[in-house]
Amino acid sequence: MRILLVEDDRETAAYLVKALKEAGHVPDHAADGEEGAFLAEANRYDVMVVDRMLPKKDGLTLVSEARAKGNDTPVLILSALGQVDDRVTGLRAGGDDYLAKPYAFSELLARVEVLARRRKPGEAETLLRVGDLELDRLSHTVRRAQTSIPLQPREFRLLEYLMKHAGQVVTRTMLLENVWDYHFDPQTNVIDVHISRLRSKVDKGFSETLVHTVRGAGYMIRDSHR
């Protein structure tokens, strides 16, 4: 997909462009806010990745101006400011997601891909299906191979988030933010423990594993037959 990267640090930008290309995307790079605004208006992108502090025009202004012109491309804001109130400011300016520096590229990539997918229709599906696993968002029930799997409310939300982004990598931080609404670092590998508990309910006793660990990035729920 086409990605606009607005980042003033040359080295970071070069690395991100290369890595995004390797991940199969088509990135355009702008080195300052004005160039970024120009490119955002001239082209249609699937996702914009905007650094918050930019020369000539700061990232938040760029985003809010683009929004005012009716540009609804999903935006991921990058910032060295990582506190909750900074995040709130960023999202209020029209950002869809917020990533504090320094970040792992896998984290950025996972978020960009999830953002791009968010635009596609059919988000309001009530029945999520991965392989023989089914999750009914209305009745709050989960079945696998016609067997009902009882889940705690939080486990249900965890599985729901994974299935909503089936086939995509979701990072631990994304799970922490979206399932628990926590924006701090719990120090311990709490998420891993939750996932392994979910796995024991969803995958245990089945020949095929659906919940996969993506090394160095996070987790993914995927039907390997498709």
Torsion angles phi and psi, residue 84, rounded to 5: -55, -45
- If the CB atoms of residues 57 and 183 are measured against another protein, the closer one turns out to be 183
What mask of x and - would describe binding to another protein in positions 14 to 43, judged by CB under 8 A? ------------------------------
Give the nearest distance from C-beta 50 to another protein in angstroms.
22
Closer by beta carbon to another protein, 52 or else 117: 52
Q: What angle do CA 128, 130, 134 make, to 5 degrees?
A: 50
Of the ranges 13-21, 52-60, 128-136, 185-193, which one interacts with another protein (CB under 8 A)? 185-193
Query: Is residue 183 a contact residue for another protein (CB under 8 A)?
Result: yes
Member of 68, 84, 124, 138 binding another protein (CB under 8 A): 84
Q: Regarding beta strands 47-51 and 75-79, do their DSSP bridges make them parallel or antiparallel, or are they unpaired?
A: parallel
Q: At what angle do helices 10-22 and 105-118 cross, to 10 degrees?
A: 60
Select the residue interacting with another protein from 17, 57, 180, 203 (CB under 8 A).
Answer: 180
Select from 193, 201, 206, 213 the one that contacts another protein (CB under 8 A).
193
**3-class secondary structure, 14:** helix
Q: Which residues contact 169 (CB under 8 A, 6 or more apart)?
A: 106, 109, 110, 113, 214, 217, 218, 219, 220
Task: Give dist(CA 188, CA 191) in Å, integer.
Answer: 8
For another protein, the binding residues in 93-122 under the rule CB under 8 A are: 102, 104
78: Cα within 13 Å, side-chain hemisphere: 24
The residues of the shown chain that bind another protein, judged by CB under 8 A, are 82-85, 102, 104, 154, 180, 182-188, 190, 193-194, 196-197, 216
